[in-house]
Copies of this chain bind each other. A is one copy, B any other.
Amino acid sequence: MAKKSAPVQSIRDAFRVVPGEFDIAKVDPAGTPVGPADKAAAAADVALVGKRLDELQEALYAEGSGGGRRRVLLVLQGLDTSGKGGTIRHVAGLVNPQGLHIASFKKPTAAELRHDFLWRIRRQVPEPGRIGVFDRSHYEDVLVARVDKLVPAAEWRKRYELINAFEAELAEGGVTVVKCFLHISPERQKERLVARLEDPLKRWKYNPHDIEVRAKFSQYLLAYQDALTKCSTPAGPWFAIPSDRKWYRNWAVARILLETLEEVAPVYPEPSYDPVVELARLRDADPLR
């Protein structure tokens, strides 16, 4: 008789940001702390994850259509080229697009700036039954806003608490928030920026301003260190994902999303009708017989 295998480790625990313990400098962007050791193994696991994610998403969608209010919100943050778009393509792409709500937050417009920083975010919270994905988010308001001094320090310092209150409110409303920081090294960022410039089909992704942002790499890491530790809460945990290897990043986010949905454990709604009665209506009284 085969030995019982050890219980599967929680992937989330391996990447979770624990305030008071987390040190961004100790996360190796090229690391593979748990899970598959190479691209092929990761791809095989992601295929399994995809099948299960798809099933759970369908159940979540069904639950929502039956009046349930639960939903999931995956927040993706990371410096330029860290792979927010690639993660959406490869992880969100695993499920039925009808159950997704994807929102990208760019530099706020003049209209958006006339509201508080959470206004535009609230408008994109996924509806019940959906998986929402944010490509950047309200965290930019404690990242770029801090590094580029877009608002006084007193202003962005208040925001951590506002964000935690907002996410607690989301949790109350049935939104399970899961946040992934895609962590890349400056060396890998440089490679990817060069690749964008060298490939005519990738040049549209590049902006000369990217170099100015890159110059502030360490300031951003400091801002991330604070944002992640101050805002990794039970209602909205942060996970730091080594993202120098795309296959590892995709695998880790897919597994974290799967664990999250497994914990949500969506339930197909009980029909509000009697299936036996309806089958009889269709079979014996079919209007088109």
Q: Footprint of B on A, CB under 8 Å? A: 58-59, 62, 65-66, 85, 88-89, 92-93, 96-98, 100, 102, 104, 135, 186, 190, 193-194, 197-198, 200-201, 203-208, 211, 214-215, 217, 268-269, 271, 273, 275, 278-279, 281-283, 286-288
Choose from B104, B203, B281 the contact partner of A271 (Cβ within 8 Å). Answer: B203
Please determine whether A186 and B97 come into contact, CB atoms closer than 8 angstroms: no
Known contacts: A217-B288, A282-B211, A288-B214. The answer to whether A204 contacts B98 by CB under 8 A is no
Please determine whether A287 and B93 come into contact, CB atoms closer than 8 angstroms: no
Known contacts: A273-B208, A288-B215. The answer to whether A283 contacts B93 by CB under 8 A is no
Q: How many copies of this kind of chain does the complex include?
A: 2
Please determine whether B204 and A268 come into contact, CB atoms closer than 8 angstroms: yes
Choose from B85, B208, B217, B278 the contact partner of A208 (Cβ within 8 Å). Answer: B278
In the bound complex, residues from chain B placing their C-beta under 8 Å from that of A98 are 85, 88-89, 92, 102, 104, 135
How far does the Cβ of A129 sit from chain B's closest Cβ, in whole Å? 10
How far does the Cβ of A287 sit from chain B's closest Cβ, in whole Å? 3
In the bound complex, residues from chain B placing their C-beta under 8 Å from that of A288 are 186, 190, 214-215, 217
How far does the Cβ of A201 sit from chain B's closest Cβ, in whole Å? 6
How far does the Cβ of A280 sit from chain B's closest Cβ, in whole Å? 10
Please determine whether A89 and B93 come into contact, CB atoms closer than 8 angstroms: no
Known contacts: A278-B197, A282-B197. The answer to whether A204 contacts B96 by CB under 8 A is no
Complex CA–CA separation, A197 to B206 (angstroms): 52
In the bound complex, residues from chain B placing their C-beta under 8 Å from that of A58 are 201
How far does the Cβ of A48 sit from chain B's closest Cβ, in whole Å? 18
Please determine whether B88 and A204 come into contact, CB atoms closer than 8 angstroms: no
Complex CA–CA separation, A245 to B287 (angstroms): 23
Complex CA–CA separation, A209 to B288 (angstroms): 15
In the bound complex, residues from chain B placing their C-beta under 8 Å from that of A201 are 58-59, 62, 268
Please determine whether B204 and A282 come into contact, CB atoms closer than 8 angstroms: no
Query: Which 6 residue pairs across A and B have the least CB separation, nearest first?
Result: A215-B287, A62-B204, A203-B271, A97-B97, A89-B96, A186-B288
Please determine whether A287 and B211 come into contact, CB atoms closer than 8 angstroms: yes
Complex CA–CA separation, A184 to B80 (angstroms): 48
